[in-house]
Amino acid sequence: MNEADVISMMRDAVWLTIKLSAPALIVSLLVGLIISIIQTTTSIQEQTLTFVPKLVAVLVVLLFFASWMIHSISDYTRSLMQLIGKH
């Protein structure tokens, strides 16, 4: 195994991490933004108000995308093991 293979594996791992975390992060950002706008317009400045809606939204997104996430991780692991097995 040479440096190019290791760099390729690391690049793929970072890219997979970004792809898998993006849906939850985007939904959390959007829910936080919506709650922030609601708080601003109603003058409610409770800091803990955003926690529960964000938590619920992220859990729903994780349940919705769980199959895709597991499939992506298992595909990456298979390709990683095949690459390691070649060398």
Please spell the DSSP secondary structure of 41-81, one letter per residue: HHT---GGGGHHHHHHHHHHHHHHHHHHHHHHHHHHHHHHH
State the pLDDT at residue 22.
Answer: 97
Mapping DSSP to helix (H, G, I), strand (E, B) and coil, where does residue 4 land? helix
16 contacts 79 by C-beta, under 8 angstroms: no
Please state, in angstroms and rounded to a whole number, the distance separating the CA atoms of residues 11 and 74: 17
Q: Tell me the residue range of the domain where 28 lies.
A: 3-86
The span from the CA of 77 to the CA of 73, in Å, is: 6
Span 10-22, average pLDDT? 96
In tens, the pLDDT along 22-65 reads 999 999 999 999 999 998 898 887 878 888 999 999 999 999 99
Residue 87: which pLDDT band, with cuts at 50, 70 and 90? low
Q: Does the pLDDT at position 70 exceed 90?
A: yes
> How far, rounded to the nearest angstrom, does the alpha carbon of residue 82 sit from its chain's CA centroid?
25
Q: What is the total count of domains within the chain? A: 1
